[in-house]
Amino acid sequence: MVDDAVQKLGLAILGLNKESYKEMLKPIVEGIVGQYSSRPSKDAIISRLRSAINNVYMIASAYLLEKLNELTQEQLEFVVNYGGPVAARHVTRLYRDALKLGRKDLLPLLRSLWEQYGTPTPVSCPRCGFRAVTPELECMVCGYTLSEREAKEAIDFEFRLAELVEFYSSSEVMEAIERGFVVVGSTIKPPSAPREPTDIVLHLTRSEREMLRRMLEERKAGYARDKVAR
């Protein structure tokens, strides 16, 4: 039955031996058989496997990642295309394997899996492009450590500073100016705002503090003009 199942499920591309396929499929087949009062036919089992093909492919992806130290190009492509959350959990390894095997074409899909199933952060890594930069400014995917300047460039920091003035009170903006840093999450926040585990602290340069002061003054002037107009 194993050979038929491998062919009909499209698993032959993985290039494993019969024993490995048997080990891979055994828990799935046992789960199917356990749902019948008597042992189902080979065709019935394969039909059930095909109807649950997405789960079969995710389990196959998990098997490859657990059992094999190195993936072939075909195995790598399979895991990235069909692994879903399994692939996202192993994104660091898959990223390195993709570079090693010259499969940079798989990186956009791998980034998409990370966004959907992983733990994307506010800042993208300038080296690998994944939104995976920790509060310590280290990329969880490629291991690169960013400078604060690189982190600011990644989020268009000066443009984003306007969010602070737009969404927070004058006292909260002044708090950021006086304490010399802001918190970067889904928005730019003052130091005292509630934080998420992935939020990043970025320190303000003198020119950035001056920019915030100017934006505050412009906001006050705008309020004054509106008041007069009324």
Quick one: 123 and 79 in the same domain? no
Return the closest-CA partner of residue 10 out of 40, 54, 42, 41. Answer: 54
Tell whether 106 and 125 lie within a shared domain. no
pLDDT at position 229 over 60: no
Instruction: Give 37's DSSP letter.
Output: S
- Are 161 and 201 contained in the same domain? yes
Structure confidence at residue 223 as a pLDDT band (50, 70, 90)? low
Q: Are 142 and 41 in a shared domain?
A: no
Look at residue 224 in the predicted model and tell me its pLDDT: 57
How many domains does the chain divide into?
3
Higher pLDDT, 59 or 226: 59
Domain end residue (candidates: 105, 135, 153): 153
Whether 98 and 136 map to the same domain: the answer is no
| DSSP for 199-225, written as a single string | -EEEEPPHHHHHHHHHHHHHHHHHHHH
**Rounded mean pLDDT, 188-204:** 96
What is the rounded average pLDDT for all residues in the chain? Answer: 92
**Residue 149 and residue 179 in one domain:** no
Which domain range does residue 7 map to?
A: 2-118
The C-alpha atoms of residue 177 and residue 125 are separated, in whole angstroms, by 26
Q: What is the pLDDT of residues 127-166, one digit of tens each?
A: 999 999 999 999 999 999 999 999 999 999 999 999 999 9
Mean pLDDT for 17-22 is 94
**Residues 209, 114 share a domain:** no
Question: What is the percentage of the chain residues whose pLDDT exceeds 70?
Answer: 96
Statement to judge: residues 96 and 24 lie in one domain: yes
Given 153, 174, 204, the domain boundary residue is 153
Q: Same domain for 207 and 128?
A: no
Same domain, 100 and 37: yes
Are residues 58 and 112 both part of a single domain?
A: yes
Q: How far apart are CA 176 and CA 53, in angstroms?
A: 52
Q: What is the mean pLDDT of residues 54-74?
A: 96
Instruction: Kindly list the strands in the beta sheet with 188-189, ordered across the sheet, starting from the edge strand earlier in the chain.
Output: 188-189, 181-184, 200-203
Binned at pLDDT 50, 70 and 90, residue 221 comes out as confident
Same domain flag for 14 and 93: yes
pLDDT by residue (tens digit) across 86-118?
A: 999 999 999 999 999 999 999 999 999 999 999
